[in-house]
Structure 1
Amino acid sequence: MKKLLVILFSIFSLSSYAQKQTFSVEEVREDMAVLKRKFEKLHPGMYYYKSKKEYNQIYDSLYNSLTQPLTYLEAYRVLAQLVTAVEDGHTNIRFDSKRFHAKKVKYVPFFLRRINDKYYLSINASRDSTIVRGSEVIRINNEPVENLINKLKTFVSSDNDNEETKEYYATALFSSFYLRQYGEIDSVTINYRLPFNNTIFRKKLACLTNGEINKISDMRYKTFKRPNLAVKIVDSLNHIAVLDITSFSMTGKFMDFRQKKFKRGLRNSFKRIKEKGIEHLIVDFRANGGGYIPNISRLMKYLSPTPFTIIDTIAFKKSAYFTIAKPYYISPPLVFWMGFPKRKGDFMYRVNKQNDNNKPIKDLAYKGKTYFLTDPGCYSATTFTLNLAKDMGIGQAFIGQTVGGASWGSFAGSWENFKLPHTKYVIHTPLYKITHRLPNQKNKGFFLDLDYEVNRNYEELLKNNTSVIDFTVDMIRASKAAVSR
């Protein structure tokens, strides 16, 4: 009996530790030190965007600001600043799943969109359907919404501190970032105005699980869905179609490591494009955060008239070698070493010497004009594709809003998730530096150069249409009319 009590006490102690509510100054400082050491050892982009001196200034300031024990969320706010200071969109900090169970945790049931200097409901997934899409949100739990969004933006990692990306995710993923700021709550009170109504209303909304939010959202906004790789004819007379590419990955019921489902779907899309005789193809990449890198080549084979190579160099830190090539793999570490023969400073890398690794598709090659649509949600494999297309001279125009990913390349390919010793936060860290093959250097800016900037507007929000597609279609029609004259 005594032995049983000891075991039960041990289990209880471990459980209590996992759910620890406060952390001493020493514990948070130790987590800060572990995070920094791990980044310096593993992260190929550490001190790439922000210098070591600048990073250390942030670190020292946070370190010295700790004077009393911190709650779980207070510790998060400190540690998150060290993560976002790396200024890499692939690097982030996550809650320990034992504290916030993904299926049980409750979220604020709506999402926002900024238009000009105001914030509006883009999705209302609460049980109250009277607060319609397009309602202006003024305060949330008595806090001015603009002040709140500025707080949440500090949690968003973005390449080279891209402000548009921070705004985009703080609003589009509002419920997730609100949880990080205030933790789980049962309800939230909002002050709002309905469309074309000056009266300010105030309502209390129950927070819901992800499952409940998705169920309500699917029913209420069924027409909002953009099936990946779907082809939609928007003007049959002028042979204009939109190809939606919302992700560079597709999943099914079974494991699909080589993304054959995406490959089949892509082929079916271009088969339809050819059958319909499409002359103007609008590729809608908005909100596409990336995915499986080989799918970039699969898409570009349909669009490129000449052979091409997508990656120039792949590199990683020498100190990350055994994190990537685990010692217990036996033979792979030895083979892996030979695959990265070049050395420069702290890095091992290899260069792709060929310029024609990928051959164009012959039977379904698209030979018409192409237009690419963008927004700050375009990242990783998506900005990779956009910059390749621009450099290869593919695309009549790049239209929309500033993208989220850098033009030169990204820190991606493979990741290491490590847990901090005291707070148990999980740090998601990329391990490779992947540089795009852009021999023509047609893009002059740090981010993709747009031909036309087209922002979202209030009418679009209310009617669920899309100003950027309308702009592109009108531009194509005007161009065809001009030619016919």
Structure 2
Amino acid sequence: MKIGRLLFFMGLMIGLGCSVAPAQTITPDQARTDLTYLKRKLDLLHPGMGYYTPKTRMEQLYDSLYNRLTAPMPYMTFYHHVSPLVTALKDGHTNLNHRKNFIGKSTRFIPFYIRPVGDQYFISHNVSADTSLHRGTELITINGRTVADLHRELMEADHSGSDGDNLTGRRQWSLVQFADYYAAWYGSADSIRITYRLPNDTLVRASRLHCLTLTSFRNTIQRRYKNEIDRRPNLSVRIVDTLTHTAVLRVSTFMGIKKNDPFQWAFNRRLKKAFRELKKEGVENLVVDMQGNGGGIVLNSARLLRYWMPKPFTIMQHEEMKRAARNELITRWNPFSVLNFSLQYKSNGSGGFASRFSRRHYRPRTRTAFKGNLYFMMNGASFSASTSVLAKTLDAGIGTFIGEASGSAYWGDFAGHFKTITLPYSRMQVRIPLKKLTHAVVADRANGFTVEPDFTVTRSYDDVLTNRDYVLDYTLRLIREGVVARQPIQPIGAQPLQASR
């Protein structure tokens, strides 16, 4: 993932103008009230209670956590205590977040990005004052614990961006945002002790490094690695090989381009421009880069699919929610919200509500449709609406998938609308999805629980040293060799552009 997106993700956890909150002690009564409140809200609102983890197991876990609340505890200890109830859902859209102002402009972060190669971890970008920590330095321990052990704990502590027992999403996010995850789980620290090995050296060294505020982190990254910052806009086209007529379409998000654009016209215009350019350049092999695309608006994912789907399609088979979710989507002071809900939803016959328009049909593009070979670069951070695109494409029997498994399930996920609740005493916040979204796909066409790659690509140590886009390099080699996993759907009488090997 490029530096520009790394900096963006780091900022997601920071409230500008905030400072680190003072220490807080939670009494047993307060803790039990908070935990009970959370469990009640999950039971009322979350459409996936019992889906990945049986309800009996969730009840046992809740009882165990509740019964252990017998003594006062610091805020961070209670944060760790609550976390298992949220992670047990195994839902990548359900997030446990700190109370407001806990993480802020004074929070200090570990001063580097790290990347794994096999079982080892290496510094890829160093923003510490010690400039001898060159790219490729092996990071062995932080504060006496191995990086592998820390990474494993952070993966288990937060299931954000990863559904079910899938590990790729948790592994990807906890590394991309390692400094954020570390600060959220262990707290802010002025400095850390590390042991490491410099490139081409067997000596294990030790050092103490000062941690940086987000502002200092960003400023140093932009100064030291300015040539590596990814400034490509979303939906940008780049011709990468004129000999094989290959281009890369970067799809970094399905969120809207403009804030006040309810119909997503700006996104649609940029998408049209991109595919007009592809047609003008005579592109025969299109690489769709969806690495790190955490999702967004389903309408925008459908608009992208229109450029290669062979026939009319729907994205969702069902969109359902629990009865209590209705009260989160309407407001008493706005009578139009009640009318709008009635227009949008109907009773599903089992006590909840179903969308009236979930099976909306989309027609494929004609003049600007792409008819060549499609290659999708993806990773664990290809989540939510990104997985919807990948699942629908796989279901249609087209495309070649490269990288690692996506973060969401092939069948669908829990998303759509969200309710963020605040626990009464600790003031921790939990984001709860309100809808169960089931993809309109055939189960037998799945290639795994998620969308799995046809070609799995992993990082080498040389890739770390050169900061190479190793997934793209592998994809371009497949294209040069004429390798495709699935042939594009050809109109009657048309000849395939390339033969598979």
TM-score (norm 1): 0.90
Superposed counterparts of 1:172-251, under 5 Å:
172-221=176-225, 222-225=227-230, 227=232, 228-251=234-257
Superposed counterparts of 1:291-440, under 5 Å:
291-350=296-355, 352=357, 357-395=361-399, 397-439=400-442
Residues 103 and 184 of structure 2 are in contact (CA less than 8 Å); yes or no, is this contact kept in structure 1?
Answer: no
Tell me which residue corresponds to 2:494.
none
Partner-residue secondary structure (3-state), 1:377: coil
Tell me which residue corresponds to 1:266.
271
Tell me which residue corresponds to 1:466.
469
Q: Distance in 1 between matches of 2:434 and 2:54?
A: 19
Deviation digits for residues 387-413 of structure 1, max 9, x if unmatched?
A: 011112231x11111111011111111
In structure 2, relative to structure 1, the CA distance for the partners of 1:353 and 1:112 (3 Å cut) is closer
Partner-residue secondary structure (3-state), 1:331: helix
Shift in Å, 1:288 = 1.0
Q: Distance in 1 between matches of 2:499 and 2:25?
A: 70
In structure 2, relative to structure 1, the CA distance for the partners of 1:402 and 1:330 (3 Å cut) is same
Shift in Å, 1:429 = 0.8
Shift in Å, 1:380 = 0.3
Q: Distance in 1 between matches of 2:33 and 2:172?
A: 33
Q: Distance in 2 between matches of 1:383 and 1:122?
A: 28
User: May I ask how many residue pairs the two structures share in their alignment?
Assistant: 464
In structure 2, relative to structure 1, the CA distance for the partners of 1:338 and 1:22 (3 Å cut) is same
Shift in Å, 1:243 = 1.3
Deviation digits for residues 275-323 of structure 1, max 9, x if unmatched?
A: 2211001111111111122110111122223222112111110122111
Q: Which residue type is aligned with residue 309 of structure 1? A: T
- Determine if the alignment matches structure 1 residue 170 to structure 2 residue 174: yes
Larger proportion of helix: 1
Q: Name whichever of 345-354 and 144-153 sits farther off.
A: 345-354
Q: Name whichever of 434-443 and 267-276 sits farther off.
A: 434-443
Q: Distance in 2 between matches of 1:129 and 1:269?
A: 41
In structure 2, relative to structure 1, the CA distance for the partners of 1:36 and 1:94 (3 Å cut) is same
TM-score (norm 2): 0.87
Q: Distance in 2 between matches of 1:307 and 1:441?
A: 20
Q: Distance in 2 between matches of 1:258 and 1:304?
A: 22
Q: Distance in 2 between matches of 1:440 and 1:117?
A: 34
Contiguous gaps of at least 5 residues in structure 2: 1-20, 484-496
Partner-residue secondary structure (3-state), 2:304: helix
Provide the alpha-carbon RMSD of the alignment.
Answer: 2.3
Residues 318 and 359 of structure 2 are in contact (CA less than 8 Å); yes or no, is this contact kept in structure 1?
Answer: no
Q: Name whichever of 226-235 and 402-411 sits farther off.
A: 226-235
Identity rate, percent = 36
Tell me which residue corresponds to 2:292.
287
Shift in Å, 1:226 = 6.0
In structure 2, relative to structure 1, the CA distance for the partners of 1:119 and 1:288 (3 Å cut) is same
Tell me which residue corresponds to 2:107.
105
Deviation digits for residues 166-219 of structure 1, max 9, x if unmatched?
A: 222222211111112221111222211122221222222222222222222233
Tell me which residue corresponds to 1:63.
66
Partner-residue secondary structure (3-state), 1:160: coil
Q: Distance in 1 between matches of 2:323 and 2:358?
A: 22
Q: Which residue type is aligned with residue 106 of structure 2? A: K
Q: Distance in 2 between matches of 1:206 and 1:433?
A: 45
Q: Distance in 1 between matches of 2:32 and 2:110?
A: 31
Q: Which residue type is aligned with residue 361 of structure 1? A: R
Shift in Å, 1:465 = 1.4
Partner-residue secondary structure (3-state), 1:120: strand
Contiguous gaps of at least 5 residues in structure 1: 1-17
Deviation digits for residues 261-287 of structure 1, max 9, x if unmatched?
A: 322322222222122211001111111
